[in-house]
Amino acid sequence: MVAIRLDEIDRKILAELQADGRMTNVELAKRVGISAPPCLRRVRTLEESGLIRGYHADVNSRELGFEVQVFAMVGLESQAETELSAFEERCREWPLVRECHMLNGEVDFILKCVAPDLSSFQQFLTGDLLTTPNVASVKTSLVIRGAKDEPGVPFDVLEERMSRTA
């Protein structure tokens, strides 16, 4: 995981693969303006460097039966590093918790959760989350509707920055 110097082509590759992770290498090569072999080599390098963590199909969770999406703000009794790590480890083990971020401010963690239905989530909330040691407070908010959900990062912002620096 060495720091890699990226050029214009690398950034284009990342942007294209973020937009369509299943694009063939020849198509990708065509789009970024080089031939297939060096393009594949660049992709491999980006993967090995950790800049590309992986590729994932974006599945429609609602149609799959996960009707409920919830954000949970969690406050802990103790913010000692041991306690923080312990809580994070718990989160990693709970399948319904998809994301766990430690925050500044009054709330210690924000969790993004999914569940097949409300009762499944309630069960998780009361049975797992609220019974976890050191959890002081949990405030949950149901997602009424999703307005935007773009994976990844805005490459156009990056390009602007680069051109300003250059």
Partner DNA sequence: AACGGATGCGCAATAATCTTTCGTGAGTGC
Partner DNA sequence: GCACTCACGAAAGATTATTGCGCATCCGTT
- Give contact residues for a second copy (rule: CB under 8 A): 3, 14, 17-22, 49-61, 63-66, 69, 71, 88, 91-92, 95-105, 107, 109-110, 114, 116, 139, 141-154, 156-158, 161
Q: At what angle do helices 36-48 and 25-32 cross, to 10 degrees?
A: 100
Between 41 and 139, CB nearer to DNA: 41
Between 46 and 86, CB nearer to DNA: 46
The residue among 118, 62, 63, 129 whose CA lies nearest residue 95 is 129
The residue among 15, 60, 47 whose CA lies nearest residue 154 is 15
164 binds, among DNA, a second copy, none (CB under 5 to 8 A by kind): none
> In whole angstroms, how close is the CB of 19 to DNA at the nearest point?
16
State how far Cα 124 lies from the chain centre: 22
> In whole angstroms, how close is the CB of 63 to DNA at the nearest point?
17
**Residue 12 in the binding site for DNA (CB under 7 A):** no
Q: Tokens 């430690």, residue?
A: 102
**Residue 40 in the binding site for DNA (CB under 7 A):** yes
Between 38 and 50, CB nearer to a second copy: 50
46 and 5 Cβ atoms separated by less than 8 Å: no
Question: What is the rounded CA–CA span in Å between residue 145 and residue 141?
Answer: 12
**Residue 55 in the binding site for DNA (CB under 7 A):** no
**Residue 51 in the binding site for DNA (CB under 7 A):** no
Question: What is the rounded CA–CA span in Å between residue 71 and residue 114?
Answer: 9
